[in-house]
Structure formats: C-alpha cells, structure tokens
Chain A
Amino acid sequence: MSALVLDGVQTRIGRYSVLHDVSFTVPEGGVFVLLGRNGAGKTTTLRSIMGLWQPEAGSVKFGATELRGMHTSAIARLGIAFVPEDMGIFRGLTVAENMVLATESGRFDQKRLDWIYDLFPALKKFWHSAAGGLSGGQKQMLAVARAIIEPRKLILIDEPTKGLAPAIVDAMAEAFREISERTTILLVEQNFEFARSLGRDMAVIEDGRIVHRGSMDAFAEDRELQTRLLSLSV
C-alpha cells in the first residue's frame, strides 16, 4: 500500500517553472526521505502536496484522494500535518496557544502531551510564554511538536533538525522512529546522518526533477551516487 503518490507534478511560482516533473511514491508507514541540494525544489514539492502552491499538471494522490486542486485546509483535515521550512510559528501566541491550534478538539490528550514534554522539555518550561521569544531551536521543537500532538496519517517535515543541538536531534530521531510505526513521514533533510538513520525509502530531487529513487540502505552504500547527487564525500 502506498500512502502518497506523486505523478508528473509540475509547479510554477510566479513566472518561473520550479518543478518540472516530480514523481515518486511514498509507501505507507516509515520514513521516506527526500534529498537534494539547495534550491533543488524540495520545499516546493512539500508545498505542492500541501496545496500551498497549486501544481499546474500531474497528480498528487493520498490514498484514493486526489489532493491537487483541494484547499490546503481540506488537505490538512485528511490527517496531514506540515512542518514548514520557516517553522511557521505564531510568534504573538503563547506556546500553549500554538499547540492548542494544532489539536482538533481544542483539548490535549494528556498522555501525548507528557510524551512531548519529555521529548522537548523546553516546551514545558516555556508553555505560557510568547512563542516569539523562543530560541531558534526551541521554535523548531515547537513546530515539530505541533505536527505530532495528535495522531496523523502523514507528516510532511521540512528540515526539522536545523539548529538543533545534538542531544535533541537524537531524541527527535527516536521520536520519529516511534511515530513512523503508525504514521507515514515524508522528510526533507540536509543532515544526512539523521536522514540515513531514519529513512527506509528515499528519492533525490535535482532542478525540479526526481533523479534517483530507491531504498535508503542501497543509497547509503553507494558513495559514488552520493557524491554525484549530493556532493556528499567532500
């Protein structure tokens, strides 16, 4: 079973064609990693799935549902969460208020909340402070926490580890592993270590096109491929 199928997605932003032909299949469960250099089109891909850019051609299938053409909020209500590159924190709201908005009912499941507190202790400490005052890493934690505060079917995450201290990165890897047992995660990452430790399947995007698809293990083995696609060996 596949959770998400992109087929021939083309997206333009303003006058510029950014995605030319993006096709890949995210299997259900586990972490799927999308890799690529700066400006390759990773963020644009996630935004196209989320309906924040409307692809002009191709299809985005979530299970049996065609996402292309749907409104972002409707896509979200299918059980898809999104952690944007810029974190999308509501700076004027408190941490608690940020989190409340990410729940469906307006109430927290205490067990899950405790789990998040445990994962990101800083959030507990600053629960009632304005989110704008958080440190860069704490904001990143909040962004991730919002995505996992309720069970979802699919989580799209854009570079969650940037700016996080090593200890937190480890903790987050653990958490993602746990979540991915029930939830599909589509992860965009520059931190190859982190991506490799989590990813089951992967794709590489280059200049708006998918140039490689395969399993993470195979890719991790193939140094030559890494060098060619990501300049990794440097």
Chain B
Amino acid sequence: MTLLRVENLSRSFGGIKAIDDLSLTIRPGPIHSIIGPNGAGKTTLFNLISGIYKPGGGRIVLEDADITGHAIWRLAELGLARTFQNLQIFFNMSAIENVMVGMHLKSDSRFITSLFRTPGIVKGDQDKREEAIRLLEFVDLGDYLDADTDSMPYGALKRLEIARALATQPRIIMLDEPAAGLNPAETVAIDGLIQKISENGITVILVEHDMRLVMGVSEHIFVLEGGRMLAEGTVADIRNNPDVVAAYLGESGRDR
C-alpha cells in the first residue's frame, strides 16, 4: 500500500541539480524521515511535493491521483499539509486566528454571507473557534489562544505552525525541521507531539537535522545526498549503512 509516490523527480536551479531523478514511496501510517547533509535537496523535495516548485521532470502521485503541477491550495483539499523551515506565521493575526485559517476549506467562504455576517457565519466561526482551541491545547499552546503572534516565543510559534497544519485535517503532514532552533527540553516536547500526531492516524514526513529526534521517532528513513537517494530503510538499516556513515562523518568515518 502506498499513500504518496514520487517518481523520477528532477529539479534544477541555474544548472545545479537540486533533485536528480529521485523516487520514493510513503506508506500510510508510519513516521517517515528525510535526512541528509545541507544542500542534499530535502527542503526542495518538500517544496516540490507541496507544489511550491514545479518539477523539471517526473511525477508525484497521491494515492492514485497524479498531483504534479497542481495548484498549491488544491493539495490541502487532498489532505497534504506542511510546516516551514523559515517560519511562515501570519503575524498580522492572533494565534487562534492562525489556526482558524487552517480550517478555511471547511468554512463558509462565500462572499455575500460573509459581508452580511449571516447566522451561519457566526455559528461556523463559533464551532471553528472551539475546534481551534482543542488543536492549540493539543500542541500545548492553551495559554496563547488570543495572543499576538509577534509576541510569542519561537518554540511556541513552531508548534503553532503544526497546529495550523493539523487544522486542515490532513492525511499527510510534512514537518520541515520542527526542532531547529529549539532547546533540548522543547525538542523533547516536539518529539512527543510528533508521536501523538502519528497516533492520530496522520502520516508524518519529517525533515530534521537533530539525529536523536530522527532516530527516536522514525520508522522509515530516506537519506538524500546531492538530490539523489543515498539510502533508505529502518533506523537500524540506516545506522549500519556504510555510505550513510561516510556521508555524515566524512572519509575518516569510513576508515574506522
């Protein structure tokens, strides 16, 4: 069974191949991680899957539907959600409003009803607000409901992005370095959060540099290097793969 399939994907920037004929398969359920040195193409891969970049070649298939070149916002409809390496918080809105934007597709977004604030809109917003409170509490941000986002700490914003992505009720959530910039305690909390998300039946794809986090939560790991697949497998497979060890530790590692 596959949920998401990437087939022979390529993309280059100014002659440099960021993603080079890459194929991979995501099964529904387990936590998948993508690792690799800087410039290996991890974030580019995320941007290709979520439609922000258009691929130079290859296909992306969600279940049986070809989603290559789809408009970005349609992918949310299909159950694909993500967070960003560089925070993309709506700093002009409160925390709870950020999450409510995530429920956009399930909201009444008709123009006329919005203008006249029909009872339907009022009721809808109440429901959405309650749901958003639940989500914020789920990511442990219950204290920040109506907080101004530009006065929230960095770690909280990281979790807010996750709550916002969850609000779209995704089947797949792609987390781009959720632990970057966090202190050890916060990293542990993120670790727990990722597991909790997975337990809710959402397939997690994780890009992360924190190896302890990756090795702790992942069930399947892809290792990229130079836009190509260096290795894939379980945590044990990857740990014992000499190529990976070499890539991470350099030539000296191989000698040992």
Does B bind A?
no
